Amino acid sequence: MTDPIAMSIKVLGVNHRTAPLDVRERFTHGAHEVPGALARVIAAGASGGVLLSTCNRTEFYLVSDDEPALETVWSLLGERLAGAPSGGAREYGYIVRDRDAVRHLYRVSSGLDSMILGESQIQGQVRDAWEASRAQAGPVLHRLFQTALHVGSRVRTETGLGMGTASAASAGVAVAGKIFGDLAGRHALILGAGDMAELAATCLSDQGVQITLVANRTQERARAIAERLGGRAVSLEEAWTHFASTDIALCSTAAPHAVVTWERVGPVIAQRRGRPLCILDLAVPRDVDPAIAQIENVFLYDVDDLQTVAAQATARRRDEIPAAERIVEEETNLFWAWYGGLGVVPTIKELRERMEQVRAAELERALRQLGALSAEDRARVEQFSQSLMNKFLHQPTIALKAAAEEGRGYGLLEALRRLFGMESPE
Amino acid sequence: MIVTLHLVALTLYALATALVLAPFMGLGSPSRALAIALPCAGAAAHVVALAQLTLVGLGPALSMLAFCLVLLQLASERLLRGSAVSFFTSPLATGLVGLAVLSGLAPGTDVPARNTWLVLHIALSVLGLALMALAFIAAALYLLQFRELKARRFGQIFQLFPPLERLDQLNRIALVAGFPSLTLGLLLAVGYGTRFSGGMGFHVAKAQIVWGLFTWVVLGWAVWVRLVRHWGGRRAALASIAGFSAVLLVYVALKLVQPGAERFL
* Average pLDDT of span B216-230: 91
Express each pLDDT in B137-152 by its tens digit.
Answer: 999 999 999 999 999 9
In Å, how far from its chain's centre is CA B139?
Answer: 14
Give A181's contacts in chain B (Cβ within 8 Å): 162-166, 169
d(CA B225, CA B165): 17
In degrees to the nearest 10, what's the CA dihedral of B182, B184, B185, B189? Answer: 140
- B145 shares contact with chain A (CB less than 8 Å): yes
Residue B260: the pLDDT is 64
Contacts of A293 (CB under 8 A, 6+ apart): A299, A300, B150
Work out the average pLDDT over B116-134.
Answer: 87
Say whether B233 and A181 touch across the interface (CB within 8 A): no
Residues in chain B with CB shorter than 8 Å from the CB of A297 are 233
Say which of B152, B164, B233 has its CB closest to residue A301: B152
In this complex, the residue of B149, B166, B235 whose CB is nearest that of residue A181 is B166
Higher pLDDT, B59 or A87: B59
What pLDDT is recorded for position A1? 34
Of residues B2, B73, B6, B1, the one with CA closest to residue B35: B73
Starting at the earlier edge strand, list the strands of the sheet with A8-15. A48-53, A57-64, A8-15, A94-97
Q: Is the pLDDT of residue B12 over 90?
A: yes
Is B154 in contact with A299 (Cβ distance < 8 A)? Answer: no
pLDDT lower than 50: segments of chain A: 1-6, 425-426
Specify whether the CB–CB gap between A15 and A27 falls below 8 A: no
Residue B43: per-residue pLDDT: 93
Report domain extents, chain A: 4-163+320-340, 168-308, 344-419
Dihedral Cα A110, A112, A117, A120, nearest 10 deg? -10
Whether residues A305 and B152 touch (CB distance < 8 A) is answered with yes
Q: How many CB pairs under 8 A join A and B?
A: 41
Residue of B nearest to A304 (CA): B152
As a whole number, the mean pLDDT across chain B is: 84
**Is residue A360 less than 8 Å (CB to CB) from chain B?**
no
A278 is catalytic: no
Residues 6+ apart with CB under 8 A from A54: A28, A122, A125
Cβ–Cβ < 8 Å for A45, A64? yes
Q: State the ipTM, two decimals.
A: 0.81
Q: Cβ–Cβ of B233/A293 closer than 8 Å?
A: no
Of B150, B162, B232, the CB nearest to A299: B150
> Given CB atoms, is A94 within the 8 Å cutoff of chain B?
no
Measuring CA to CA, how many Å separate B129 from each of A233, B42, B64, B65, B180?
52, 21, 11, 8, 11
- How does pLDDT run across A82-103, given as a tens digit for each residue? 765 556 788 889 999 888 999 9
Confidence band of B204 (pLDDT split at 50, 70, 90): low
Question: Nearest CA to B126 among B31, B221, B39, B57?
Answer: B57
Instruction: Confirm or reject CATH 3.30.460.30 for domain A4-163+320-340, answering yes or no.
Output: yes
CA distance B262 to B202: 14
**H helix intervals, A89-234:** 98-110, 121-132, 134-158, 168-180, 195-206, 219-229
Please give the Cα distance from A16 to A19 (Å, whole number). 6
In angstroms, the CA B114 to CA A410 distance is: 82
The answer to whether A252 touches A283, Cβ cutoff 8 Å, is yes
Q: What per-residue confidence (pLDDT) applies to A13?
A: 92
Whether A174 contacts chain B with CB within 8 A: no
Distance CA B59, CA A425 (A): 78
**What does the DSSP assignment read for A46-92?**
-SEEEEEE-SSEEEEEEEE-SSHHHHHHHHHHHHTTTTSSSS-GGGT
Beta carbons of A181 and B163 less than 8 Å apart = yes
Residue to mutate among B79, B143, B154, with most A CBs inside 10 A, is B154
pLDDT at B224 exceeding the cut of 90: yes
C-alpha–C-alpha distance, residues A347 and B118, integer Å: 84
Q: Is A111 helix (H, G, I), strand (E, B) or coil?
A: coil
Cβ pair B149:A177 closer than 8 A: no
- Pairwise CB contact (< 8 Å): B163 & A296: no
CB proximity B78 to A under 8 Å: no
Residue A285, classed as helix, strand or coil, is coil
Tell me the one-letter amino acid at A31: A
Report the length, in residues, of chain B: 265
**Confidence at residue A3, expressed as pLDDT on a 0 to 100 scale:** 36
Name the CATH superfamily for A168-308.
NAD(P)-binding Rossmann-like Domain (3.40.50.720)
Single out the catalytic residue among A55, A203, A251, A278: A55
Would you tell me which residues 220-249 of chain B have a C-beta closer than 8 angstroms to some C-beta of chain A?
A: 230, 232-235
Cis peptide before A285 (omega within 30 of 0): yes
CB contact under 8 A, B149 and A312: no
Nearest one of B67, B7, B59 to B261, comparing CA atoms? B59
Burial (0-12, 13-18, 19+ Cβ within 10 Å), A161? buried
Q: What are phi and psi of A239, to 5 degrees?
A: -75, -30
pLDDT at site A85: 53
Give A 278-337 residues with CB within 8 A of chain B.
Answer: 293, 296-297, 299, 301, 305, 308-309, 312
What is the structure's pLDDT at A84?
A: 57
Of residues A169, A165, A114, the one with CA closest to residue A316:
A165
- Which residues of chain B neighbour A296 with C-beta distances below 8 Å? 234
CB A9 within 8 A of CB A106: no
Q: What mean pLDDT do residues B26-46 have? A: 83
* Distance in Å, alpha carbon of B90 to nearest chain A alpha carbon: 23
In whole angstroms, give the CA distance from residue B92 to residue B248.
14
